[in-house]
């Protein structure tokens, strides 16, 4: 408000009324929201005290026939010097005026007369004990009474200002009444939604008779109704041990989990006393048999709120003829475990929601447990399904389905089909040889390259062996030395005359040395021949006319050391006959052998696809079957079958080309053709 305009000026009054109207509009919008009552009344009271320039105020709401303080401003300062007895008079004043029809003003330090509401009676128990003018406005809606709004105003205000303040409080009371209507409407709507959800929950848990399904439904749907972070269903078994059967949000329960085992121990301790356990962080007054397992479970789960509720069947109605049974309740068959990781939801709310869930889940679990324990249940179910098949309405289907099954079985047994055994293989020239290293050495020269045509005896690769050359040179030198020495001795022996004993002795020595040298020369000559053959073997030559199949010979072998027996090259005659080297799994070769023997002098046909041209189906005939089983590159036992093909009828003829061959093993029932692998597996693994 502008301080330059006098308070009594029309401009100041208009500004004040605009401010009040804006304040009322704000509170009206606030009353239509769903904020908590404490927050609404705090803002209403704060705006009312500020608008009226009052000393303070308070809002009292009725609960169970009594008024309870909901919100206040400066209430402690106003009653700081008021003794407790007079404070009781103030409460009596609130109790009297909460049923009044209109708002009232009670002067400072005055008593309220019981009949007229004046302050002339000195015996009245209702009074305003403060030094402020008390403005009181009841919060009512017809017969519905919500409480009292009171404002502590300065006692010096004029009568007109007091009358205007009471009118303003009446407006605020109407806004508070509207807020309560909206609040009740919201509560009714929420309650209707909750009951609809509870009804759906009851229908879902009672639709099943399988214990696992009922427990899972209770855990998943019940968690949402209760508002817990996790809900578990625990069931007692015949061994009197409790097992967690379902946990919300978990498809299967891992009973080896340490937290599950600790929870089962805690549930067993709670079930022993057969009373609910509710924990919200307070560990006082817990029995010792529960405190220890509770601490162990809390250390692993880190939850803040926990409830373990035994599910007991409803007690029978008490009548005069049947006195009440005071025996302690039996150990519960089922329990619910409610867990939260925070404390935002009040414990009383959780208890109320859990009671509603337990009321529906207990009979559903009990019925499923009883149904599951029926003797010969599986036989009854089977008999019931069998009887249903022969009802008049189901009889056409009962006849049609077995008829179709019989037709299918007859077709599988009687209709013939081509029986083919598939394998893996590759195209190869029939005339081909591998070139191996005849001795250790190092590749010194490569005389050919990939796909080059060669003739039998053409040089392919030259090897170098320094040790062999050294040994050959040594033997050759020793041979030459021995030969020269032999020539010298022979000349000396021919020129000597054995006339004297000394000459005879010398002659005999020369003769012996000559014989020794001859023997040494013969040995060295043999070594030279062997080394010559080994030197000749360093030159690798083509064993036949054809082409070199080895790819990129120079990159593979140039200046590479090789060992004796190592395969270096492959030479094949591409213009000669061609074959397929086909490998058939060891467990299927029996069918091929039987078909080959049954064919006799006739050829056993083979059809195959070449990977280079998969759109063309080619044919061949089985030429031979290996007598032994080998291990393929993927370490599977298989038998080599050689298939002869006509190279002119095979497109994309390339050595080593992958083919997918199928051996035609005659006609068999189509059921055996389709399921012979399954039949062999049954005979091998089940019937054996």
- Rounded distance, CA 122 to CA 112, Å? 9
By DSSP bridging, strand 613-631 and strand 637-645 are antiparallel
pLDDT digit string (tens) for 597-640?
888 878 899 999 988 888 888 999 999 999 898 888 778 899 99
Give the CA distances from residue 67 to residues 37, 183, 287, 408, 468, in Å, rounded to whole numbers and listed in that order.
15, 19, 38, 84, 120
302: left (phi over 0), alpha (psi -120 to 50) or beta: left
pLDDT of residue 75: 85
pLDDT of residue 117: 42
- Rounded distance, CA 605 to CA 643, Å? 9
pLDDT digit string (tens) for 336-383?
999 999 888 888 888 888 998 988 898 999 888 887 777 766 566 666
List, in sequence order, every residue forming a beta bridge with 642; answer none if it has no partner.
581, 624
pLDDT of residue 329: 63
CATH superfamily of 10-187: GAF domain (3.30.450.40)
CA torsion sign for 337, 342, 343, 344 is: negative
DSSP secondary structure code for residue 424 in this structure = E
DSSP string, 527-592: HHHHHHHHHHHTEEE-SSSEEE--S-HHHHHTT-EE-TT-EEEEEE-TTS-EEEEEEEETTTHHHH
pLDDT of residue 202: 84
> Domain spanning 434-465+538-571 has what CATH number?
2.40.50.100
List, in sequence order, every residue forming a beta bridge with 461; answer none if it has no partner.
446, 540
Fold: same for 10-187 and 577-685: no
Helix (H) or strand (E) holding 461: strand 459-464
pLDDT of residue 643: 93
Domain residue limits, the chain: 10-187, 208-313+331-372, 374-414, 434-465+538-571, 467-533, 577-685
CATH 2.40.30.170 applies to domain 577-685: yes
Q: How many helices (H) and strands (E) does the chain have?
A: 16, 27
109: left (phi over 0), alpha (psi -120 to 50) or beta: left
pTM: 0.43
DSSP secondary structure code for residue 649 in this structure = G
The domain 208-313+331-372 is classified under which CATH number: 1.10.3720.10, 3.40.50.880, 3.40.309.10, 3.30.450.40? Answer: 3.30.450.40
Q: Tokens representing 220?
A: 């998943």
pLDDT of residue 661: 92
Q: Give percent helix, percent strand, percent coil of the chain, each to the nearest 5.
A: 45, 25, 30
Give the CA distances from residue 345 to residues 189, 339, 353, in Å, rounded to whole numbers and listed in that order.
20, 11, 11
Q: Tokens representing 481?
A: 């030395």
pLDDT digit string (tens) for 74-124?
888 888 778 888 888 888 888 888 778 788 888 888 876 554 444 433 344
- Rounded distance, CA 421 to CA 622, Å? 13
List, in sequence order, every residue forming a beta bridge with 308; answer none if it has no partner.
277, 337
Residue 308's Cβ-count burial label (10 Å; 0-12, 13-18, 19+) is: buried
Helix (H) or strand (E) holding 380: helix 377-389
- Rounded distance, CA 170 to CA 160, Å? 15
Residues of the chain with pLDDT under 70: 1-17, 112-124, 190, 239, 283-284, 315-329, 376-392, 394-395, 398, 687-688
667: left (phi over 0), alpha (psi -120 to 50) or beta: beta
3-state per-residue secondary structure call for 80-132: CCCCHHHHHHHHHHHHHHCCCCCCEEECCCEEECCCCCCCCCCCCCEEECCCC
Helix (H) or strand (E) holding 615: strand 613-631
pLDDT digit string (tens) for 380-438?
666 666 666 666 676 677 677 778 888 888 988 889 988 999 999 999 999 988 889 88
């Amino acid at each position: 408000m502008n301080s330059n305009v006098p308070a009594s000026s029309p401009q100041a009054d208009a500004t004040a009324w605009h401010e009040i109207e804006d304040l009322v509009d704000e509170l009206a919008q606030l009353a239509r929201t769903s904020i908590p009552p404490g927050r609404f009344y705090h803002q209403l009271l704060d705006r009312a005290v500020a608008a009226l320039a009052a000393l303070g105020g308070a809002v009292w709401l009725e609960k169970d026939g009594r008024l309870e303080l909901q919100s206040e401003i400066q209430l402690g300062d106003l009653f700081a010097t008021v003794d407790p007895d007079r404070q009781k008079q103030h409460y009596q004043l609130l109790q009297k005026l909460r049923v009044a029809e209109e708002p009232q003003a009670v002067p400072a330090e005055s008593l309220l007369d019981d009949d007229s509401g004046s302050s002339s009676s000195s015996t009245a128990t209702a009074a305003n004990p403060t030094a402020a003018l008390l403005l009181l406005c009841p919060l009512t809606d017809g017969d519905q009474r919500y409480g009292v709004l009171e404002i502590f105003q300065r006692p010096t205000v004029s009568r007109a200002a007091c009358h205007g303040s009471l009118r303003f409080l009446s407006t605020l009371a109407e806004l508070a009444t509207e807020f309560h209507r909206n609040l009740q409407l919201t509560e009714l709507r929420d309650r209707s939604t909750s009951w609809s959800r509870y009804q759906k929950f009851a229908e879902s848990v009672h639709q099943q008779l399988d214990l696992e399904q009922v427990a899972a439904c209770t855990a998943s749907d019940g968690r949402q109704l209760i508002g817990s972070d996790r809900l578990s269903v625990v069931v007692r078994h015949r061994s009197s041990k409790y097992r967690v059967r379902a946990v919300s949000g978990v498809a299967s329960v891992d009973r080896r989990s340490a937290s599950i085992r600790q929870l089962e121990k805690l549930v067993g301790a709670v079930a022993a006393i057969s009373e609910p356990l509710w924990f919200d962080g307070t560990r006082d007054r817990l029995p010792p048999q529960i405190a220890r397992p509770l601490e162990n479970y809390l250390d692993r789960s880190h939850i803040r709120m926990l409830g373990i509720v035994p599910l007991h069947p409803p007690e029978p109605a008490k009548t005069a003829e049947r006195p009440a049974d005071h025996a302690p309740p039996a150990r519960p068959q089922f329990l619910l475990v409610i867990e939260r990781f925070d404390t935002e939801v009040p414990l009383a709310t959780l208890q109320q929601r859990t009671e509603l869930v337990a009321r529906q889940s207990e009979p559903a679990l009990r019925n499923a447990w009883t149904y599951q324990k029926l003797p010969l249940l599986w036989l009854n179910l089977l008999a019931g399904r069998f009887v249903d098949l022969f009802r008049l309405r189901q009889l056409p289907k009962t006849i049609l389905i077995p008829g179709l099954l019989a037709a299918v079985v007859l077709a599988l047994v009687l209709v013939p089909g081509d029986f083919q055994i598939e394998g893996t293989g590759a195209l190869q020239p029939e005339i081909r040889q591998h070139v191996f290293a005849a001795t250790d050495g190092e590749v010194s020269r490569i005389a050919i390259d990939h796909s080059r045509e060669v003739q039998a005896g053409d040089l392919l690769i030259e090897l170098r062996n320094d040790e062999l050359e050294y040994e050959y040179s040594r033997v050759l030198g020793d041979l030459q030395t021995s030969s020269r020495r032999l020539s010298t001795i022979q000349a000396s022996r021919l020129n000597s005359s054995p006339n004297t004993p000394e000459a005879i002795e010398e002659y005999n020595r020369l003769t012996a040395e000559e014989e020794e040298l001859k023997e040494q020369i013969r040995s060295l000559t043999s070594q030279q021949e062997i080394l010559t053959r080994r030197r000749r073997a360093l030159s690798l030559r083509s064993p036949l006319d054809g082409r070199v199949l080895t790819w990129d010979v120079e990159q593979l072998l140039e200046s590479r050391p090789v060992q004796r027996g190592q395969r270096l090259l492959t030479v094949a005659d591409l213009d000669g006959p061609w074959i397929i080297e086909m490998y058939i799994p060891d467990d299927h070769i029996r069918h091929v052998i039987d078909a080959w023997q049954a064919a006799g002098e006739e050829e056993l046909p083979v059809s195959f696809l070449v990977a280079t041209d998969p759109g063309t189906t080619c044919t061949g005939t089985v030429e031979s079957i290996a007598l032994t089983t080998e291990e393929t590159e993927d370490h599977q036992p298989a038998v080599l079958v050689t298939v002869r093909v006509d190279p002119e009828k095979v497109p994309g003829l390339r050595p080593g080309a992958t083919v997918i061959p199928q051996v035609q093993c005659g006609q068999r029932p189509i059921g055996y053709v389709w399921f012979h692998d399954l039949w062999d597996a049954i005979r091998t693994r089940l019937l054996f």
